[in-house]
């Protein structure tokens, strides 16, 4: 057993002692650059020790929000509070936050150890203590063997580990991660993402992660805040975001989503082809044409007799491991993705027809113009 626990046992004290982590509150943040509104009224609360991911497409304002939290930008309006204290006007060097940048942030003339110890040096920690803390943290991120290497001698993933250790060295109240994995290879990304989460949990540090990769956000975050055009669309735990997206944008941004044509019928149901589905909650009046949004795993595909030449035409079969994703074209021309266990995929050869049925409850209904 290694990692945080063994180090704690060996040295007798945990690396970061957080008696009580502090929460982060963003209230009414506005920021415009000339004509462009980067942030248009953002409200977000991060509980102490929680990891919230800011997720969204380029230009949605997530990086601006993070930079405002870090202090590199000032909001036009709104406030940033840490543990209840307003820090909106505090200079970045006094905010007690640790930030990991996307890339190129290690000081090139310093070794990994000296990079990690930098914040401690600024705080006038003696050099022996500095060095031992730095080595401790490098061990935590798995870089003790490279302690004396220089940034240009390290790969991208290694550099980001050192960057993380450096941010943690100052025992910050809040950890800020600005797309730390975007510049890395896929395999490295997966591995590092798990480790970052592991470390964050064990230290109990309040963290904000900015990313455009929804898979990354869903897999590590306690809650995911989906942003668009400077506003928050929804902030919820990953499962809820996936199963109950609040808006069509969230529904389609997170995971794969089908759009199928339907019409609202009386008695709170929607007609899709030959099927009638129940609807939860509000819906447009009867006879309104709508799009029914549903996940591939809610689409059932069944074999139909070869003599029957209507139904959905199977176009593509994408092997994803345990699941195979079929792309079918419905009689009305819309495409539908359906997931089924790979061992059943053989029954559905490309070019043949199949019957498509939707699970009983629709995920989301959107009016169709």
Partner 1 sequence: MTALAPPHDVETTPPVTVAAPAPSRRTGSRSSWLALAPFVVYTTLCLGLPTWALIYESLRRTDPATQQTSFTWANLTTAWHGFYLTALWGSVKLSLITALISVIVGLIAGYAIVTSRGTVGKQLVLALSGVLANFGGIPLAFCFIATIGTAGEAVNLVHKVAPDFALDTFTGVVAVYPYFLVPLMVLVIVPTLEGLRPQWREAARNLGASTWQFWRYVGLPVLAPALLGGFVLTFGGAFAAYATAKALTGGTVPLITLRIASVISGNVLAGQENVGAAMSINMIIICGIVMAIYLPLQKRSARWLQA
- Identify any residues that bridge with 366 across adjacent strands, giving them in sequence order: 291
Distances from the Cα of 311 to the Cαs of 275, 292, 302, 357, in angstroms?
13, 18, 10, 10
Q: Does 220 participate in binding partner 1 (rule CB under 8 A)?
A: no
Q: Quick one: CA dihedral 54, 59, 64, 65, positive or negative?
A: negative
Taking CB under 8 A as the rule, does residue 188 contact partner 1? yes
CA-angle at 245, arms to 333 and 41, nearest 5° = 120
Ranges within 276-335 binding partner 1 (CB under 8 A): none
Residue 106 interacting with partner 1 (CB under 8 A) = yes
Could you count the other beta carbons within 10 Å of the beta carbon of residue 236?
A: 17
Beta strands in 160-214 (DSSP E): 174-178, 206-211
Query: Smallest distance from the beta carbon of 95 to partner 1, in angstroms?
Result: 8
What is the tally of helices (H) and strands (E) in the chain? 9, 20
Cβ neighbours of residue 46 closer than 8 Å, sequence gap 6 or more: 23, 24, 25, 52, 174, 206, 207, 208
CB of 125 to partner 1, least distance (A): 11
Q: How far is CA 295 from CA 245, 251, 336, 363, in A?
A: 11, 9, 10, 8
Find the part of the chain contacting partner 1 (CB under 8 A) among 48-56, 104-112, 264-272, 279-287.
104-112
> Which tokens go with 71?
């202090």
Check if the beta carbon of residue 245 is closer than 8 Å to that of residue 254. yes
Residue of 9, 33, 72, 367 that binds partner 1 (CB under 8 A) = 72
Pair 23, 31: CB distance under 8 Å: no
Which 3 state secondary structure label does DSSP give 267?
coil
Cβ closer to partner 1: 94 or 343?
A: 94
We find the least distance from the C-beta atom of residue 44 to partner 1, in angstroms, to be: 20
Q: Based on CB atoms, which residue is closest to partner 1, 72 or 319?
A: 72
Residue 167 in contact with partner 1, rule: CB under 8 A? yes
Cβ at position 115, least distance to partner 1 in Å: 9
Site string for partner 1, 133-162 (x = CB under 8 A): --------xx------xxxxxxx-xxx---
Lay out the site mask for partner 1 across 242-261 (x = CB under 8 A, - = otherwise). --------------------
Q: Which stretch binds partner 1 (CB under 8 A): 17-25, 52-60, 97-105, 328-336?
A: 97-105
Q: Which two tokens stand for residue 199?
A: 């470390």
- Rounded to whole angstroms, how far apart are CA atoms 128 and 106? 22
Shortest distance, position 84 Cβ to partner 1, whole Å: 22
Which listed residue (2, 20, 89, 369) binds partner 1 by CB under 8 A? 2
> Binding of partner 1 at residue 127 (CB under 8 A)?
no
The least distance separating partner 1 from the CB of residue 189, rounded to whole angstroms, comes to 10
Footprint on this chain of partner 1 (rule: CB under 8 A): 1-3, 70-72, 91-95, 97-99, 101, 103-109, 118-119, 121-123, 141-142, 149-155, 157-159, 163, 166-167, 170, 185, 187-188, 191, 194-195, 198
């Amino acid at each position: 057993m290694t990692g945080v626990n063994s180090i704690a046992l060996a040295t007798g004290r945990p690396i970061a002692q957080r008696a009580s982590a502090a929460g982060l509150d963003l209230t009414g943040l506005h920021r415009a650059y000339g004509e462009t509104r980067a942030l248009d009224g953002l409200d977000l609360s991060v509980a102490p020790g929680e990891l919230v991911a800011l997720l969204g497409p380029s230009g949605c304002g997530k990086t601006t929000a993070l930079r405002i939290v870090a202090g590199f930008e000032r909001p036009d309006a709104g406030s940033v509070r840490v543990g209840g204290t307003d820090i909106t006007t505090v200079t970045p060097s006094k905010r007690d936050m640790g930030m990991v940048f996307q890339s190129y942030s290690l000081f090139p003339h310093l070794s990994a150890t000296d990079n990690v110890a930098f914040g401690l040096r600024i705080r006038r920690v003696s050099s022996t203590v500095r060095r031992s803390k730095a080595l401790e943290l490098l061990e935590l991120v798995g870089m003790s063997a490279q302690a004396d290497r220089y940034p240009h001698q390290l790969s991208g993933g290694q550099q980001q580990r050192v960057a993380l250790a450096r941010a943690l060295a100052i025992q910050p109240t809040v950890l800020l991660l600005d797309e730390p994995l975007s510049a890395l290879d896929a395999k490295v990304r997966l591995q590092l993402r798990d480790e970052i989460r592991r470390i964050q949990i064990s230290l109990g540090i309040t963290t904000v992660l900015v990313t455009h990769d929804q898979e990354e956000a869903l897999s590590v975050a306690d809650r995911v805040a989906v942003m668009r055009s400077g506003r928050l669309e929804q902030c919820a735990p990953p499962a809820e975001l996936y199963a109950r997206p609040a808006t069509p944008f969230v529904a389609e941004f997170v995971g794969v989503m089908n759009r199928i044509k339907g019409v609202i019928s009386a008695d709170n149901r929607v007609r899709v082809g030959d099927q009638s589905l129940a609807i939860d909650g509000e819906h447009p009046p009867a006879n309104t044409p709508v799009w029914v949004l549903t996940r591939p795993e809610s689409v059932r595909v069944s074999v139909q007799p070869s003599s029957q030449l209507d139904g959905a035409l199977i176009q593509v079969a994408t092997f994803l491991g345990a699941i195979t994703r079929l792309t079918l074209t419905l009689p009305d021309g819309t495409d539908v993705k359906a997931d089924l266990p790979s061992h059943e995929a053989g029954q559905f050869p490309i070019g043949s027809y199949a019957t498509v049925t939707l699970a009983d409850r629709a995920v989301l209904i959107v009016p169709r113009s």
